[in-house]
Amino acid sequence: MQSIFVYPEYEVERNESRCTMCRICERECSNGVHRFNASTGKIDCDDTRCANCHRCVEMCPVRALKIVKSGHTFRTNANWTAQAVTEIFKQASTGGVLLSSMGNPEEQPVYFDRILINASQVTNPSIDPLREPMETRVFLGPKPSRIERDKNGKLINNLKPQLKAEMPILFSAMSYGSVSYKVHEALAKAAGALGIYYNTGEGGLHEDFYKYGDHTIVQVASGRFGVHPDYLNSAAAIEIKMGQGAKPGIGGHLPGTKIVDDVSRTRMIPEGSDAISPAPHHDIYSIEDLRQLIDSLKEATDYKKPVIVKVAAVHNIAAIAGGIARSGADIISIDGYRGGTGAAPTRIRNNVGIPIELALASVDRRLREEGVRDRVSLIAAGSIRNSADIVKAIALGADACSIGTAALIALGCHLCRSCQTGSCNWGIATQKPELVKRLDAEEGARRLINLLTAWNHEIKEMMGGMGINSIESLKGNRLMLRGIGLNAKELEILGIGHAGE
Amino acid sequence: MEKIDATGMHFKELNSLVRRSGHKEVTILNCIGQRYIGTALKTGSITVEGTPGNALGAYLDGGHILVKGNCQDAVGDTMNDGEIIVHGNAGDALGYAMRGGKIFVRGNSGYRTGVHMKEYKDKKPVIIVGGTSGSFLGEYLAGGVIVVLNLNGETLCTGKFTGTGMHGGKIFLRTENGSILPDLPPQASVRESTEEDMAEIRTDLERYLSVFRIEREKLFSGRFWTVTPNAKNPYTRLYTAD
């Protein structure tokens, strides 16, 4: 049988009148789209290889290139869309599980976009952050349930270890291996300069980056890659990864092709061997087992560091978080179903889990109802796209937010969603030295600092508008939010009124 | 050497005493289920009399732990270096995700022994179990060596699902008196151990024999089998780009 040809989704358009045949596009494209044809003296384009990453477009000195959506269509069908049909073609040809990268691109409700923020008028005047002090610093970790004094009446410091972040934003876990050395370097430098934290993900910590330990969260996942006492003790906090928003309930497989040289040493597995993170931790079958891992990590670090438990937002997340809050965890990180990934089975990414907005609101309410909200801080993640999303998340009960995709976009990611190929033209999701060197860590760090400085100012502006001068007063302050176009059940879960109420 | 009587002690108190003892050798007396003993220990040695609780020697990083009796679950969890010697039995999840050092158990071990052990260059973890081991032995094994000696000549030296998802390392199984090998998953295959296979574990076996005072003849009266993975990239062909 003839193999099924899938017409490319995007096409490269070359303006021949502008093209000078400099062949930069040919050199820049790691996918091999552009090829100089000596017999015709022209550059041929193989659109089937194009990931639509815009590398050639941006590098072209004469703006001769653009990528357009291919006009090729199937017969119109609202049910059997072109995507549904081509996915069947691909699976029928290969027998493979469909693999995708980055967050869920499907058209599903984004609740952040249906929530509006309040502002003061006349009474409780708004505050101008340019002339008045505004506090966006957060302390993440358990807060004491009561004030204790010694026999002389002096305060006893009963505060357990905290993470102090100068703004309520952290960088999400992205492992060395899934992203490049330069990405970690840029994140580490930016986190240090901003007084926040980046997260190693589950691939261990490269020896060059131990010096950024005070701004590093190290992760312990089911594969326990790169986990040893020095790694644990180098960090400001330890995160146990139980789940990830993009792929709840499954593990991870970093292909052997990405386990090269330094990645191999940092993960402590042989070069070329697949790095397999099993779906569950095979020593965690209950909240009690989770407590055992938390306790052993605290014993290993002499009770000096907060322990974060990261879970994916799933249907029973409120009850799960209630259990985690009692397991000795200091911080719970919840990752919504739109969260990013270096690779996940498409069906899982697009169909498993729930939105962060609903998960966060119900977890915050449940922990308050159970009287354990102060025992843990909450970090919300899973597609935080801008500062307004952060303000909304904090008003829904988060202590802070994590950003992964937004940080990568700042570093040059164009969301072509081809991370799994390992040929990222922007030097981000690749281990190929010639591609990694395209990313300048200094410049990357500067852009991350720019982005978050701007966001932090926007957060202050929005807080000021509400007449709030401390992020603590925004936390869980649902009165500052109203829904628009949401039904009664959605409003009930979010714990907010409708606009106009 | 310092002796610590653990009677009635919470694990936090006991472990804090051990950490701050300043002695190279510590003996814990009357141990009764205290967890996390010797966590991340880099140097020195701990002798345990009684029964330590879960996660003994977690993240062990060069220290030496000797247990005169039985252990509970998660001994040597994510261990990096050093040695744990258990004269009795060990519980479930022995040596989980271990990446260096050695664990010698005289008796049996429970379920999930050596799950997801790994290795890097000369850093190669070793678990030797004298008796039998439960189901899920060496699941997801990515490196290192697990040896199950079955010294009592039981019919089955391990339970079910041995080596499921295995993609590195080796599992050695010893049989005697007609004991049979476990069914293996499609990811792994077994052969009678070759000279080269045996050379890989000879030093550790010698050490094991001398630690537990076992006769060489007894050990080598049985047959050794080596389980190896069929591929180090088992998932490569699973996917197609969307």
- Using a CB–CB cutoff of 8 Å, tell me whether B14 touches chain A: no
Complex ipTM, two decimals? 0.93
* Closest chain B residue to the Cα of A273, Cα to Cα: B232
CB contact under 8 A, A292 and B54: yes
What pLDDT sits at residue A136? 97
What does A162-228 look like in DSSP terms, one character per residue? -EEESSSEEEPB--BTTB-HHHHHHHHHHHHHHT--EE-GGG---GGGGGGGGGEEEEE-TT-TT--
What pLDDT sits at residue A253? 82
Over chain B, what is the mean pLDDT? 94
- Using a CB–CB cutoff of 8 Å, tell me whether A299 touches chain B: yes
Chain B closest-CA separation from residue A103 CA (Å): 13
Q: b or e along A487-499 (b: 16 or more beta carbons within 10 Å of the residue's beta carbon)?
A: eeebbebbbbeee
A15-to-A18, A62, A281, A321, A352 alpha-carbon distances in Å: 6, 10, 54, 56, 43
pTM across the whole model: 0.95
Query: Which residues 6+ apart lie within 8 Å of A81 measured at CB?
Result: none
Q: Which amino acid is at A240?
A: I
Is residue B236 scored above 70 in pLDDT?
no
What pLDDT sits at residue A55? 97
- Using a CB–CB cutoff of 8 Å, tell me whether B42 touches chain A: yes
What pLDDT sits at residue A191? 98
More confident residue, A385 or B240: A385
Is residue B89 scored above 70 in pLDDT?
yes
Distance CA(A221)–CA(A244), nearest Å, equals 11
Chain B closest-CA separation from residue A367 CA (Å): 27
Q: Are strands B223-229 and B168-175 parallel, antiparallel or unpaired?
A: antiparallel
Tell me the three state secondary structure of residue A482.
Answer: strand
**Residues above pLDDT 90, as percent of chain B:** 88
Are A465 and A126 contacting, i.e. CB atoms less than 8 angstroms apart? yes
Distance CA(B116)–CA(B133), nearest Å, equals 16
Distance CA(B71)–CA(A122), nearest Å, equals 69
**Residues above pLDDT 70, as percent of chain B:** 99
Distance CA(A218)–CA(A198), nearest Å, equals 9
Tokens read off for A309: 């438990």
What pLDDT sits at residue A5? 85
What pLDDT sits at residue A206? 96
Chain B closest-CA separation from residue A480 CA (Å): 41
Of A173, A135, A225, A33, give the one whose Cα is nearest residue B98.
A225
CB contact under 8 A, B240 and A272: no
Are B117 and B136 contacting, i.e. CB atoms less than 8 angstroms apart? no
- Beta bridge partners of residue A430, listed in sequence order: A423
Q: What is the pLDDT of residues A456-479, one digit of tens each?
A: 999 999 999 999 999 999 999 999
Is residue B134 scored above 70 in pLDDT?
yes
What pLDDT sits at residue A448? 98
CB contact under 8 A, A272 and B19: no
Write the Ramachandran bin of B109: left for phi over 0, alpha for psi from -120 to 50, otherwise beta.
beta
Domain covering B89-233: architecture: 3 Solenoid (2.160)
Q: Among residues 62-101 of chain A, which lie with CB inside 8 Å of chain B?
A: 87, 90-91, 93-100
Q: Are strands A275-277 and A252-254 parallel, antiparallel or unpaired?
A: antiparallel
What pLDDT sits at residue A280? 87
CB contact under 8 A, A273 and B237: no
Q: What is the pLDDT of residues B18-53, one digit of tens each?
A: 998 877 899 999 999 999 999 999 999 999 999 999
Tell me the three state secondary structure of residue A265.
Answer: helix
Please give the domain boundaries of chain A with CATH numbers for all domains: 10-96 (3.30.70.20), 128-137+169-474 (3.20.20.70)
Per-residue model confidence as pLDDT tens for chain A (501 residues): 667 888 899 999 999 999 999 999 999 999 999 999 999 999 999 999 999 999 999 999 999 999 999 989 999 999 999 999 999 999 999 999 999 999 999 999 999 999 999 999 988 889 999 899 999 999 999 999 899 999 999 999 999 999 999 999 999 999 999 999 999 999 999 999 999 999 999 999 999 999 999 999 999 999 999 999 999 999 999 999 999 999 999 988 888 888 888 899 999 888 888 888 888 898 899 999 999 999 999 999 999 999 999 999 999 999 999 999 999 999 999 999 999 999 999 999 999 999 999 999 999 999 999 999 999 999 999 999 999 999 999 999 999 999 999 999 999 999 999 999 999 999 999 999 999 999 999 999 999 999 999 999 999 999 999 999 999 999 999 999 999 999 999 999 999 999 999
Query: Which residues 6+ apart lie within 8 Å of B234 measured at CB?
Result: A274, A276, B165, B167, B187
Residue identified by tokens 């290795």 is: B119
A229, A232, A273: residue with CB nearest B167: A273
